[in-house]
Amino acid sequence: MIRGIRGATTVTVNNETEMTDATEKLLQQMIKENQVQPDDVCSIFISVTEDLTAAFPAKALRRFDGWSYVPVMCMKEIPVPESLEKCIRVMMHVNTKLSPADVKHIYLEKAVSLRPDLQKQNH
C-alpha cells in the first residue's frame, strides 16, 4: 500500500546551509521513525514558503547513501496570509505495510504548531 508520510520544519534565516541541514534532519527522522528504505519510496515532494529562496531543500536527500534514484521535487507553498514563515514541508510517498494510524508524521521546530494532534499521537 502506498502511504504518505508528512513532515515539516522551520528555519530562522533564508540560507542554503540552514535550509539543507534542517531538511536533512527532518528527512532522517522521517526515515528512521517509519523504517523507510529507499527502494520503498515512490517519490518525495518538498515545498517551501515563499520567503525561502536560497536553495532547493531536496539537496539534503542527496547526502544519503542509496537515495540517488529517489525522485524528488521542490515547489513553493501557497502564500496563505498568517501562515507559518520559513517553513519546509515534506510529503514522502512510500510503499509500506504500516496502517495510517501507525505512520509517524514528523514536525520539528516551529512546525509542531501545524499538527499538534499528531505530536501527541507520536509520543
CATH number, residue 95:
3.30.1330.40
Best CA proximity match to 105, nearest among 66, 52, 16, 114:
114
CA distance 70 to 41: 7
| DSSP label at residue 47 | E
For residue 29, what are the domain limits? 2-122
Domains identified in the chain, total number: 1
**Is the predicted pLDDT of residue 1 greater than 70, yes or no?**
yes
**Is the predicted pLDDT of residue 123 greater than 50, yes or no?**
no
Handedness of CA 111, 117, 118, 122 (dihedral sign): positive
pLDDT at 122: 52
- Give the residue numbers marked as catalytic: 6, 62, 74, 77, 89, 107, 115
69-87 pLDDT, tens per residue? 999 999 999 999 999 999 9
Q: What is the mean pLDDT of residues 5-28?
A: 98
